[in-house]
Chain A
Amino acid sequence: MADNQPTPQAVLQRLRRELLLQDASVRYDRTEIVRYGAFVGSVIECHDRLPRAMDHARSLIAACAGSGRALASGTVILADEMSLCKGRFTRSWHAPRGGVWGCMVFANTLLPQWRSFISLTAGVACCEAVREICGAPSCLRWVNDVLVGGRKLAGFLVESYTEALHGEEFALVGFGINVNNISFPSEIQGTATSLCRILGRDIDLTEFTTIFLAKLAFTFGILHHEEARDLRGDGFSGRQGNHLLLDRWLSLSDTLGRRVLYGFDVMTAPQYQAEVMGLDPSGGLILRLADGSVKTEYSGEIRYLE
């Protein structure tokens, strides 16, 4: 039996708490956001062990399609430990007991221009969950790495998957959050951390995962809410008409103004150094290079230089 056992009911109950945070000064409707996002975690599979959650998700989607059904959008797959986790490119991801490892299956109904924002949702949700449960000073590094004290606490990767039988497109939102795991492979010893290491005590894994999934539901609700506003011609509901998700991302990030090393694969092929000027409306990173030219990057990754 798995240790990490959040339930759909608990996630929904936690999501409802967002309604209590009504603020008359904001332009958005929390009730509508909660309604839009409530699909996240409506089904939760908890496993003791899996090779890789995304591969399991693909199998489930294909099996459902083959039997004339559709896998519920928002289905979450968790495992206490995973043996074949991977990050970007050919990087492996260490996923022993104690962490939150899994993925959320999203039947992609967003318009193409908002699909890039899916990657931002998981980082925002995790950062907010960490701050809420233990007050740890977590920050976002573009695109969606969650850092505490300059060390990586969590990483997220979105993989698209088109089911072969009906051509339905899914986004698989993969997450890896170091919670109670304290040992790391030697190559990331100096750059990784976990909540247990930071706080010096264990965190209730199920409670943390429940909060994270409720926050993920709220951020997906924001995506749909803002898309609906845009389609109605109402404009976005963030400050100065910004997209609300970008606003939240900016409020949680320490990326702006930093000197960074940029690369499509920054670990093996760093490309150039630059200063971060801001985010463009699509979430692209606006960088000023040493020669004064300004370039916006929509993929790749950064490392802080100072």
Chain B
Amino acid sequence: MSNELDFDQLLSKYKADPFTYVDIFSVHTGRVSFKAGVGQEVASAGGEWLQILGTALYEINRERNPRIVNAQVNGIVAHINSELEGQFVEAGVKLMTIKHPLKKKEIIEIILKDVLSLFPAPESAKYFFAIDIQSRIDKKGARAVTIEPGEEILTMSLMKRDTPVFYKGERGVIHSIYFKPGLSVGQGEPLLGVCAPEKLPLIQKIITRVKAEWDSEH
């Protein structure tokens, strides 16, 4: 968790290039066939329940089981490893890059992720707060709730199998909640952003500064 942030440098970086570059990797082994081209605009999953699939990016075929992989973010296809077209690849091979335009809220979140301790999802599943944590959030708001290492904070729910999730990290307050009840979270994606109580003023300073600067120039 960093105490020192060079706001001017950070903000000028995002002003100069208000994009993030999202690498797309093969989801498993198989033969790859690209479905999108360089420069093509791609859309993320849409609809109220994210039921409308994003743009098809590539197909991967393993043992005659073809699987289309769709975009999870919107943007422009910036790069494709075209030499892999029709080739057999291992899982986790970088296939392409999407240039995703950042909104103000996303820039704030990206900067905050450098400052907060992120608590990642242990498995792809849906999550909800443990009863005790939820009642404390309901009473006081998340940013007034301090969590301790080893405390049961969430329940991971998959096929009616509920698994308690225990907090591993430094004692802190729940600053950011990255999941919504009812929507799946991928393995490794952040569920919570936690910070020490004394860092809350720094966090607020970041939010205020980015909002002010961005609103004045964009």
By a CB distance below 8 angstroms, the chain B residues around A156 are: 160
Given contacts A293-B47, A293-B51, contact A159 B126 (CB under 8 A): no
CB under 8 Å from chain A, chain B span 42-79: 47-53
Q: Which residue of A lies closest to B131 (CB)?
A: A90
- Contact, CB under 8 Å: B160 / A157: yes
Chain B positions within 8 Å of A160 at CB level: 161-164
Query: Shortest distance in angstroms between A165's beta carbon and chain B's nearest beta carbon?
Result: 14
Count the A-B residue pairs with Cβ separation under 8 angstroms: how many? 81
B181 contacts the other chain (Cβ, under 8 Å)?
Answer: yes
- Interface size class of chain B, counting residues whose CB lies under 8 Å from the partner chain: 20 to 34
Please give, as numbers and ranges, the residues of chain A lying within 8 Å of B158 by CB-CB distance.
116, 298-299
Asked if B125 is at the interface (CB within 8 A of a chain A CB), the reply is yes
Is A253 among interface residues, defined by CB-CB distance under 8 A?
no
CB nearest neighbor in B for A283: B159
Residue in contact with A291 in the complex, picked from B52, B161, B164, B182, CB distance below 8 Å? B52
CB nearest neighbor in A for B159: A116
Per the bound structure, the CA–CA distance linking A298 and B159 in Å amounts to: 6
| Complex contact A119–B160 (CB within 8 A) | yes
The segment from A27-35, A38-46, A199-207, A262-270 that touches chain B is A262-270
Task: Say yes or no: A269-B161 contact (C-beta < 8 A), given A289-B51, A291-B47, A298-B125.
Answer: no
Return 12 A-B CB contacts under 8 Å, by A number.
Answer: A117-B159, A119-B159, A159-B161, A159-B164, A264-B157, A265-B182, A272-B51, A289-B49, A291-B52, A298-B125, A299-B157, A299-B160
Residues of A within 8 A of B (CB): 88-90, 112, 115-120, 143-144, 156-161, 171, 263-265, 269, 271-272, 283-284, 289, 291, 293-295, 298-301
Q: What is the interface of chain B, defined by CB distance below 8 A to chain A?
A: 47-53, 123, 125-126, 128, 131, 157-164, 181-182, 184
